[in-house]
């Protein structure tokens, strides 16, 4: 417990910018480790497997929701923000997660779902009773149009209208997601204060920060104005699948409201005394990077925002990387992104981009070299592909709604595999809540030399060893076919980074000056022209001459 205490007080006081360039490992608790044989992962299971994450070299863990919930959306529908759902354990079990993580040098970030609650939350139960109770305005209620139809044309990400009729109040309530996830009304100061108290509760319990679900959905347009249509040529399926009519609107009024900035400032003020950091999930296909800039600029809002650009279906090419960073520089020159290739909502990138082992390793190194923080999703360090889940095994309501054109999110949520000698991969002694694919078992426990796990560990270590990779500036980003090159710089350290993101050799001329190779091996000076093999990386450190060193 001494190490936990050291992390709580010493590091919190020492490094206000610990989040810059941090490597975060996302845990989806239902599927990480089951400790009691009920087929569902739990907090005690997380405690058991935290050494795996520490061995990988990550700096922090992000734990997806474990709060009390009817599980209509698997924990993203919260009925008690300040307790643990019994399927995951107890608050005492959570305290054990904090203690063990801090002993291992890992910070803990938890997933706060503030934009909406479950319809089973006591707040909503009271709010829907009538129009005059103490919490009558804690959710977004509106009268129907004269013809009885919903107040406006807003759509739910999960399909259909974003409004649900409630016979008790004879009004509609807003739900940007499932009908069982009513939206909280942030225009009420009491709602904001209640949510800030929830943040305080978990900070007092020892968490080091938050991942903020759908951060740009908190506040809606007071006047409930219709969203304008979006031309087909501008539709982007990065947030919702292409079969979803949600993509047919320009979402001007149901989210992204300017008043949101004021709430983020209040939340940052609550976090500051704890040296806590937050990464906000920006769900917007049209203005994502612009909002990232708005929400992270300065020192009084969120530290990071979770960017969707590298979660897209299209393969990540050098050209798209350059375009993304150019757009980021234009929209958010002072912003800070947190990049990810996979998470619990998208097809795993090994499958999504059709990656070979060599390609997976190249992209892992790339993620550790790009400016910003990085988020890894459980199992990507083992090279787990997307699972093919039969309709009869499907659990995700999103997949059930749009099957078979969109199969939902269960394919990336199957249980983690730890050993290859049993059908559940060491995840559970019982029947897992989602099936464990047989093809995943061969990935279990593969940590030896040459493994993808060993490569991730080495890439993360490289990031830790070089301040330029963790927090430095990034410039001269250039794409030529499959070749990506850029410079990272911090103080006296300058690194040249070159990536061949293709399956043919590429020759290139390195920048003028004296350079020493640090990858693929720590060696001598480089020739002016070098050749990168398929999926090969070159990192080189600029050598200072004696005059520069003395200057």
Show contacts of 5-14: CB within 8 Å, 24+ apart.
5/102, 7/102, 7/105, 7/107, 8/102, 8/206, 11/275, 12/208, 12/274, 12/275, 13/275
Look up 8 and say whether it is catalytic: no
Q: What is the CATH number of domain 2-115+189-220+255-463?
A: 3.20.20.80
Give tens-digit pLDDT for 14-59. Answer: 689 999 999 999 999 999 999 999 999 999 999 999 999 999 999 9
CA distance 500 to 531: 10
Predicted model pTM = 0.95
Look up 281 and say whether it is catalytic: yes
- Please report, for residues 206, 223, 263, 284, the alpha-carbon distance to residue 186 in angstroms, rounded to integers and kept in the order given: 26, 14, 8, 19
CA distance 11 to 524: 37
Fold classified for 472-550: Immunoglobulin-like (2.60.40)
- Residue 15: the pLDDT is 87
Query: Which residues in the chain land under pLDDT 50?
Result: 1-6, 8-13, 547-551
Contacts of residue 42, defined as CB under 8 A and 6 or more positions apart, other chains included, come to: 29, 33, 34, 35, 36, 87, 88, 89, 93
- Residue 483: the pLDDT is 98
Contacts of residue 404, defined as CB under 8 A and 6 or more positions apart, other chains included, come to: 391
Number of C-beta neighbours around residue 514 at 10 A:
12
Task: Please state the domain extents for the chain.
Answer: 2-115+189-220+255-463, 472-550
Which DSSP string do the residues of 63-101 spell out, in sequence order?
A: E---EE---TTTTSS-SEEEEE-TTT--HHHHHHHHHHH
- Residue 238: the pLDDT is 62
Count of alpha carbons within 13 angstroms of residue 142, beta-carbon side? 26
- Residue 396: the pLDDT is 86
CA distance 537 to 117: 45
CA distance 262 to 252: 18
- Residue 13: the pLDDT is 47
- Residue 235: the pLDDT is 83
Is the Cβ–Cβ distance between 181 and 119 less than 8 Å? yes
- Residue 476: the pLDDT is 98
Decide whether 2-115+189-220+255-463 matches 472-550 in CATH topology. no
Burial 155-192 (b: 16+ CB within 10 A, else e): bbbbbebbbbebeebebbbbbbbbbbbbbbbbebeebb
Q: Torsions phi, psi of 36, nearest 5? A: -120, 5
Number of C-beta neighbours around residue 129 at 10 A:
13
- Residue 239: the pLDDT is 66
Is the Cβ–Cβ distance between 538 and 532 less than 8 Å? yes
DSSP state of 500: E
Name the catalytic one among 281, 386, 396, 410. Answer: 281
CA distance 337 to 331: 12
CA distance 416 to 423: 12
Q: Torsions phi, psi of 496, nearest 5? A: -100, 125
Name the catalytic one among 85, 213, 284, 386. Answer: 213
Tell me whether the omega of the peptide bond preceding residue 404 falls within 30 degrees of 0, making it cis: yes
Count of alpha carbons within 13 angstroms of residue 3, beta-carbon side? 10
- Residue 32: the pLDDT is 98
Number of C-beta neighbours around residue 242 at 10 A:
12
- Residue 233: the pLDDT is 83
């Amino acid at each position: 417990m001494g190490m936990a205490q050291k992390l709580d007080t010493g590091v919190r006081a020492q490094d206000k910018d610990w989040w810059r360039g941090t490597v975060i490992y996302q845990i989806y608790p239902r599927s990480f480790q089951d400790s009691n044989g009920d087929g569902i992962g739990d907090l005690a299971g997380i405690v058991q497997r935290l050494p795996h994450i520490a061995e990988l070299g990550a700096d922090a863990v992000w734990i997806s929701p474990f709060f009390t919930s009817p599980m209509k959306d698997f924990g993203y529908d919260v009925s008690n923000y300040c307790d643990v759902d019994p399927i995951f354990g107890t608050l005492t079990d959570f305290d054990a997660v904090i203690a063990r993580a801090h002993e291992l040098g890992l910070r803990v970030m938890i997933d706060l779902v503030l934009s909406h609650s479950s319809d089973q939350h006591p707040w909503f139960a009271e709010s829907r009773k009538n129009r005059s109770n103490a919490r009558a305005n804690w959710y977004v209620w509106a009268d129907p149009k004269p013809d009885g139809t919903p107040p406006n044309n807003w759509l739910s990400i999960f399909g259909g209208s974003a409004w649900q009729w409630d016979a008790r109040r004879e009004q509609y309530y807003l739900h940007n997601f499932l009908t069982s996830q009513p939206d909280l009304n942030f225009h009420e100061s009491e709602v904001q204060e209640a949510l800030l108290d929830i943040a305080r509760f978990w900070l007092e319990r020892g968490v080091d920060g938050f991942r903020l679900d759908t951060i740009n959905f908190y506040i809606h347009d007071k006047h409930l104005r219709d969203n304008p249509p979006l031309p087909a040529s501008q539709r982007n399926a990065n947030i919702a699948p292409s079969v979803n009519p949600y993509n047919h609107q320009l979402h001007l009024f149901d989210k992204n409201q300017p008043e949101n900035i004021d709430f983020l400032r209040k939340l940052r003020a609550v976090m500051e005394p704890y040296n806590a950091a937050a990464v906000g999930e920006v769900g917007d296909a049209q203005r994502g990077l612009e909002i990232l800039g708005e929400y992270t600029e300065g020192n009084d809002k969120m530290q990071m925002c979770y960017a969707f650009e590298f979660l897209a279906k299209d393969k990540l090419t050098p050209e798209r990387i350059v375009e993304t960073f150019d757009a980021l520089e234009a929209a958010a020159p002072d912003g800070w992104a947190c990049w990810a290739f996979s998470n619990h909502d998208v097809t795993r990138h090994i499958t999504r981009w059709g990656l070979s082992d060599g390609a997976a390793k190249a992209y892992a190194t790339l993620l550790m070299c790009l400016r910003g923080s990085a988020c890894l999703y459980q199992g990507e360090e083992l090279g787990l592909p997307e699972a093919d889940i039969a309709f009869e095994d499907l659990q995700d309501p999103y997949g059930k709604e749009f099957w078979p054109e969109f199969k939902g999110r269960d394919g990336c949520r199957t249980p983690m595999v730890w050993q290859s000698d049993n059908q559940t991969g060491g995840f559970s002694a019982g029947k897992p809540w989602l099936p464990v694919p047989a093809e995943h078992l061969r990935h279990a426990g593969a940590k030896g030399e040459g493994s993808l796990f060993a490569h991730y560990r080495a890439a993360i270590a490289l990031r830790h060893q070089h301040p330029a990779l963790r927090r430095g500036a990034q410039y001269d980003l250039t794409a030529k076919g499959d070749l990506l090159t850029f410079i990272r710089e911090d103080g006296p350290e300058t690194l040249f980074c070159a990536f061949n993101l293709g399956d043919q050799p590429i020759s290139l001329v390195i920048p003028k000056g004296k350079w020493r190779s640090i990858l693929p091996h720590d060696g001598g000076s480089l020739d002016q022209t070098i050749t990168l093999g398929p999926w090969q990386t070159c990192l080189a450190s600029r050598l200072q001459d004696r005059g520069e060193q003395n200057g």
